[in-house]
Amino acid sequence: MIVVLTSATITLAQTPQPGGAWTATPLDTFSTLWEKTVMETNAATGAVTQRTMHYTELSGSLSYATPDGTLQRSVDAIQIMTNTGGAAALQGETKVLFHSTLADPLVITTPMLETIKIAPLAVYYYDRASQKSVLLGAVRSQAQGELEPPNVVRYDSAITDGIRCSIRCVYTHSEFSSDIVFESQPEQPPEAFGLNPATTRIQLVQIITGPTPRQTVHVLKPSTGLSDATLDYAGLLFPAWRAFALPDEDQPPSSGVPARVVVGPGGKGQVLVGKQLVQLPDGRRASRAWTRRRPPPRAAQAASWARSVRTGVIP
């Protein structure tokens, strides 16, 4: 058994001043103390007294430890890496490195300092009855990444022929998502390849390099046999997720407000997405995520989800 001991020095916030704004003091990575000092006047005597208001905020990964052990408030932001190229989210417990193109994998560093590399490979039709697969399009390695500040990276034209897709990544301090966005229907229906449309699904295959996670399989829809394997890495969980329709038009330019990972129960326009982790002969692992046969135009499917104004191309 390996025991990892860590220590952290808490950065104390500035002492609250009377009439000032709220100040934050990280207590640990999951809690932050907020304080504010106000002046109150006694209506009967006119005496002025000073009172400190406070509350404790609780949430996953509110703060992170810097290399020198100091606790800092997490920030939902991705920065261009001018020295090494690419972009990175470094101001949180979980770190993510984005390369300039899809030729290189997405690199996730967990709070326990384990490294997980995820490389999307291709989109397929998969017939669960016959267990046959048909390639719809491979990932286009030269697809260029673009940063949409403060916390979104997008790779347009991510798939070659057969279906138009992009990949959109959203980073927040407690969650990260990597979604494949279908921008068209497949050029050919399953029947064109001898597949049964009633049992055929859209499938995304990704190559995953890293430690072996603990897997828990859940049946999502008994009537169709759809199941999902929850992947539990040290400090990072990949749960089940859903696909959902997007507006017909592109989203308005970024206002500088961090994008959110959409979390919540299924509703109208959402469908279940299952995934499976399989071992390849060369020792690598492949993640297969699938959903219903024909995605609606501009539909987003969670390729990876962990507890994800264009200003320029990522160098």
Task: Determine contact, residues 220/240, Cβ cutoff 8 Å.
Answer: yes
pLDDT for residue 16: 55
Q: In which residue are the tokens 């220590």 written? A: 7
Strand 152-155 to 165-171 pairing: antiparallel
H or E element at residue 89: strand 87-89
Handedness of CA 138, 141, 142, 144 (dihedral sign): positive
pLDDT for residue 309: 33
What are 272's strand-pairing partners? 242
pLDDT for residue 163: 83
Cis upstream peptide for 150 (omega within 30°): yes
pLDDT for residue 33: 95
Handedness of CA 152, 153, 156, 160 (dihedral sign): negative
Q: What is the pTM of this model?
A: 0.81
pLDDT for residue 152: 95
pLDDT for residue 303: 56
Judged by DSSP in three states, 64 sits in strand
Mean pLDDT per 10-residue interval, the chain, length 315 residues = 30 52 93 93 91 92 93 96 93 96 96 94 93 94 95 94 88 91 89 94 92 92 88 88 67 62 56 87 79 54 50 51
The C-alpha angle 179, 182, 184, rounded to 5 degrees, equals 170
pLDDT for residue 14: 47
Distance from chain centroid for Cα 275: 15
Judged by DSSP in three states, 191 sits in helix
- CA atoms of 202 and 117, how far apart (whole Å): 23
The C-alpha angle 149, 263, 204, rounded to 5 degrees, equals 80
Strand 312-313 to 145-148 pairing: antiparallel
- CA atoms of 29 and 300, how far apart (whole Å): 31
* 61 Rama class: left (phi>0) / alpha (psi -120 to 50) / beta: left
Residue 221: DSSP 8-state: E
Tokens of 221: 């829809």
Tokens of 165: 């897709």
Taking Cα atoms as reference points, which of 200, 159, 165 lies closest to residue 179? Answer: 165
**Range 279-295 burial, b when 16+ CB lie within 10 A, else e:** eeeeeebebbbbbbbeb
Residue 100: DSSP 8-state: S
Task: Determine contact, residues 138/122, Cβ cutoff 8 Å.
Answer: yes
* 93 Rama class: left (phi>0) / alpha (psi -120 to 50) / beta: alpha
pLDDT for residue 245: 73
